[in-house]
Chains A and B, each alone.
Chain A
Amino acid sequence: AQSVTQLGSHVSVSEGALVLLRCNYSSSVPPYLFWYVQYPNQGLQLLLKYTTGATLVKGINGFEAEFKKSETSFHLTKPSAHMSDAAEYFCAVSDREAGTALIFGKGTTLSVSS
């Protein structure tokens, strides 16, 4: 069965600092991988996804993630945090073969201080 682990339920950074949110997955086959963001009192928004091809994926708002099969990881990064990046971030996987529901991690809340 697939599972997703997000290391750190809370991450705090200063404005302008590097953002690194960690995600590891467990899957018998390489899955599709996603990062979603949820701003306060809003719905989920897709940040980026990896399906096939280039393992470094660029998303919206300057975020990117790299699929590392050997490490079963899909960490999310942004070189310079903005106050507006404060939100909850979810990593998710989808079975590439069955293509059904997403399996989510428990989320990481990102706080950005000035």
Chain B
Amino acid sequence: EAGVVQSPRYKIIEKKQPVAFWCNPISGHNTLYWYLQNLGQGPELLIRYENEEAVDDSQLPKDRFSAERLKGVDSTLKIQPAELGDSAVYLCASSLDPNGSQYFGPGTRLLVL
């Protein structure tokens, strides 16, 4: 069974540029999460989806970050414009439901110059 797929795996951009990350969850998983992980820290939740509905986006910096999961499957996370402090690993995870174990994708490593 395929795991959570993310792309790109690495991204280098200049500050003020836009960037987008894509996630394909495990088939049948209704709950999807985006996390941010800084070096030496644990992941921090940015947003959680139940199907296509964002049920918890309280930690998402909405001035520059946006996310969507239009058909309740794939999801994209966008940053516009990117800042130097956005350099981090962006992890996507999915679970069957909110009670289920979360499975993480390999992440996208973002470097903002």
A binds B: no
